[in-house]
Chain A
Amino acid sequence: MEGFTPASALAGGLLIGSAAVLLLWLTGRIAGISSIVGGLVGPSRRDGPWRLAFLIGLVAGVAAWQAWTQQIPAARPAFPAWLLIVAGLLVGFGTSLGSGCTSGHGVCGLGRFSVRSLAATATFLVVGIATTFVVRHVFGVF
């Protein structure tokens, strides 16, 4: 168990959950990042300013913490660029097809006891774990 950080993980999780509840309470909207981003790139775009406001806030929140702690997650020089591009395509397409990601289904959906979100979360967790195993231990990439 290398690098196990339960305290900061729990604190961050509580912040994420609070942000999702605050957004729902104030604006009536779900803090699902894939849906918020996806609504900016499809053919039927709407609510643009609202989406941008959330995303700008998100990036600012991350930047503030990185400035405060002077710690930025290091880019992985040995990671194949083409594989990261393929992963980006899959994450974008899959979250759009499945109507949500870790935040929309995981944090918000589980929080309102949605059976759809439970099924989606179980699926991407299991497939994610299997994929990491194959990529790392079968193909030996990164």
Chain B
Amino acid sequence: MKRLLLATGFSGALFGLGLAVSGMTDASKVLAFLDISGHWDPSLLFVLGGAVAVTAGATRLVLRRPAPLLDEAFHISSLRTIDPPLIFGAAIFGIGWGISGYCPGPGVALLASPSWETWAFLPAMLVGMAAHRVGRTLLSRERDNSGGAQRSPA
């Protein structure tokens, strides 16, 4: 457990370093990338390209192993279908990203040097996440209840 947490903390630190080095933590730079009709700054294509070059090359090799080094199994989504929640969710996220220049990683990274933007964006992001998760739990409970009533004769 201790080794797992240390390895995780180290990976997190490397991830954070990458965010800061790349310029992703600078919302103005992110917006300069998304604003293709302004003074377009294509730097973020290099961030995504560099990151995916590594993951696309190495993920397959890692997943060929029976298990990760410090745990018993890989924790990976087995979902395959492109469904409305995926697309609507990505679109809603895109609106928030396009307004602010912050996706969740840089949103968390705001804590490294807090400003007024930190306290406006980060709590709101947490509320948004909690709202969806509470809603999803309530809906699935409702579905379970009505499903249970139909199943009860058997």
Name A residues whose Cβ lies closer than 8 Å to a Cβ of B.
1-6, 8-31, 33-34, 37-38, 41-44, 49-50, 53-66, 72-76, 79, 81, 83-99, 101-103, 105-108, 110-116, 119-121, 123-137, 142
Contact = CB atoms under 8 A, between A and B. Distances in A.
Nearest to B111: A59
A13 B49 contact: yes
B9 A54 contact: yes
B76 interface: yes
B70 to A, nearest CB: 5
Interface centre among B25, B51, B56 (most CB of A within 10 A): B51
Nearest to A32: B104
A94 B28 CA distance: 21
A122 to B, nearest CB: 8
A53 to B, nearest CB: 4
A63 B112 contact: yes
A133 to B, nearest CB: 6
A13 B112 contact: no
A64 B94 contact: no
A98 B28 contact: no
A8 B39 CA distance: 19
A123 to B, nearest CB: 4
Given A91-B103, A123-B90, A20 B82 contact: no
Interface centre among B68, B98, B126 (most CB of A within 10 A): B98
Contacts of A87: 95-97, 99-100, 102, 121, 124
10 contacts: A3-B29, A10-B46, A25-B69, A54-B11, A62-B20, A91-B93, A91-B104, A96-B132, A107-B55, A119-B86
Nearest to A3: B41
Given A84-B100, A95-B104, A58 B31 contact: no
B63 interface: yes
B134 A42 contact: yes
Contacts of A9: 22-23, 43-47, 50
A135 B98 contact: yes
B108 A98 contact: no
A118 to B, nearest CB: 9
A59 B37 contact: no
